[in-house]
Amino acid sequence: MHLPRILVTSAATAILVAAATASADTATAKKPTPNAAAFAWAPANTAQIHPGTMMYTDGAQCTANFVFTNGTAVYVGYAAHCAGTGAATDTNGCDAGSLPVGTKVDFVEGGSLVSGGTRVGGGTLAYSSWLAMQQNNETNANACDYNDIALVKVDAPDVSKVNPSIPFWGGPSGIDADGTVAGDTVYSYGNSSLRGDVELLSPKQGMSIGDQGDGWSHDVFTVTPGIPGDSGSAFIDDQGRALGVLSTVQLAPLAGSNGVGDLAKELAYAQANGQSGLTLALGTEPFTP
């Protein structure tokens, strides 16, 4: 079974392909605590940096998922493969190439940078699960296949433009720590420039069709499905809790479904590898499915 990574470049769509492996490895993740620090967030209806904002790294386009803080700085998450440098088949996070920490990232609204989009802020790559696993010589096959999150530290002058609420749905209201079972409802918000700024196509609702990798990944099917450029998008559960990060397009068990990396496990891994104070920022807007 091949799992194409979802990623778009400013010149053309680039789909990265990963081979998932079955494993009996177990992964125990502590439940991260949502952020309690009070930041002067921008109003949700005028914020320019938020879940769903487009992020460009060396020309490659992805979508912001959640906002995080460590009490002093603000971070926006996307998929680690958004900063990948390897070939299309180099998608195992434990050996795939990546741009280094410190790489510049642009926040953009209104389309791509080459099609009239406007740069609304910037940041630097501060953490990549891929780089962390390589530094650790990680041997957990499930983590290597599915731990796909990176954090971009928002430039200080742009922090005032940030709001952690997910457009249309509101939330997140906390963190989902027990995964999904088939039939569970999920929600997301993707904003790929391939949609041509058709906002009605951005909110997505669907269901889980089961988990993989001992809970490291959730297979989901939504209307509409995640497309190139949506990589990194936030997924929340039926209570508005942060569930995961859009990582792949599935060819099976259901063509057009998506693979969503488990945020609780990914965040716990980050906390144990240089991001000890990192916590999820809750939405200022209530979850309203």
CATH label of the domain that carries residue 70 = 2.40.10.120
What's the CA angle centered on 167, arms 163 and 169, to 5 degrees?
120
Task: For residues 149-158, give the mean pLDDT.
Answer: 98
Size (the chain), residues: 289
Q: Residue 46's domain spans which residues?
A: 2-17+34-280
Query: What was the pLDDT predicted at 28?
Result: 37
Asked if residue 23 is part of any domain, the answer here is no
Asked if residue 287 is part of any domain, the answer here is no
**pLDDT per residue over 168-204, tens digit each?**
999 999 999 999 999 999 999 987 766 656 666 789 9
- Report the domain count for the chain: 1
Asked if residue 169 is part of any domain, the answer here is yes
Asked if residue 29 is part of any domain, the answer here is no
Provide the angle, in degrees to the nearest 10, between the axes of the packed helices 263-271 and 129-136. Answer: 60
In this model, does residue 265 exceed pLDDT 90? yes
